[in-house]
Amino acid sequence: MAELERVGFAGLGAMGSGIARRLLEAGYDVVGWNRTRERAEPLVAVGIRWAETPRELAESVDVLFTMLTDTAAVEATASGPDGVLAGLREGAVWADISTISPETSVALAERVRATGASFLDCPVSGSPATLAAGQMSVMVGGDRAAFDRIEDILRAIGPKVTYIGPNGQAILTKIAINLALVVSVTAFAEGVALIEKAGVDRAAAVDAVLKSVIASPVLGYRAPLLVDDTDVFADVELQQKDLVLAEELARQLGAAVPTCAATSEMLSAARSSKTAGRDFVVSVHEAYLRIGGME
């Protein structure tokens, strides 16, 4: 590996902190920023340096990663006198891992190019469990030379790295993947709730699914939550955000996404669930039970 780049990371939530830790363990000099510093204290304790603002973060690194909640959060972090755009240095690479509006991502790439830096939409697919197992996948859209420059850093995040094409194409791919993910997990919850009403034991149903032809990596770590609700990979509001992005894209393109629309309706019902703060598979399953009179 060539001389290690100085790496910045903004957005140190559950997934972001895990990725930042992997970069630190890979030997990178990592500088971090988060809206609330308390979330970052465990990382500071193990060697991540702290930046007071997104601008200070951008000024101090060669490669910047952002992993933020939604489009509005990315815009807020990018803009203003203390934003990333005010601090980006010429020649730097900004890789946004967030799942945001493709239009916003492409427009942000143009604003970054005006500073002399490069922007990559760089979403990941997986969960903290996938990350910990070293199985995270990374998709990349943007300038190929910028991708080539940071490919080693991306492989420190996860071994499955795919260059998709120009700016915006990786985030489009991530939206399609998340559409399929949420639909499949919701269908799983629907099937379990259906046979529970017929008297099948929930734990037995989950075990059978995980041994069946519909077993998948995402069901592998999410299905057990219906039996042992001990983790939250993404709550119902966060996952519905991805379906809304897919529905907006479909309207723009004149494409049909009927299963996306139906699933989004179930997630709307699940947002009023008493388990709405848990992982979305738990919330959706509870909504199916409630609708079926089994609450």
- Catalytic site includes residue 174: yes
DSSP-assigned letter for residue 279: B
Residue located via tokens 């969960």: 127
CA distance to 79, 180, 233, 238, 272, per residue, from 277 (Å): 30, 22, 11, 10, 10
Contact status, residue 43 vs residue 24, Cβ threshold 8 Å: yes
Measured CA to CA, the distance from residue 175 to residue 179 in angstroms comes to: 6
Active-site residue identified among 174, 197, 211, 241 = 174
Residue count of the chain: 295
φ and ψ of 84, to 5 deg: -60, -45
Which helix (H) or strand (E) segment holds residue 8: the answer is strand 6-10
Beta pairing partners, 8: 31, 64
Q: In the numeric block, which tokens belong to residue 76?
A: 């807020």
Kindly tell me the burial class for residue 256, based on how many C-beta atoms sit within 10 Å of its own C-beta (0-12, 13-18, 19 or more).
exposed
Contact present, 203 and 274 (Cβ < 8 Å) = no
| Strand pairing report for 49-50 and 124-125 | unpaired
The residues annotated as belonging to the active site are 174
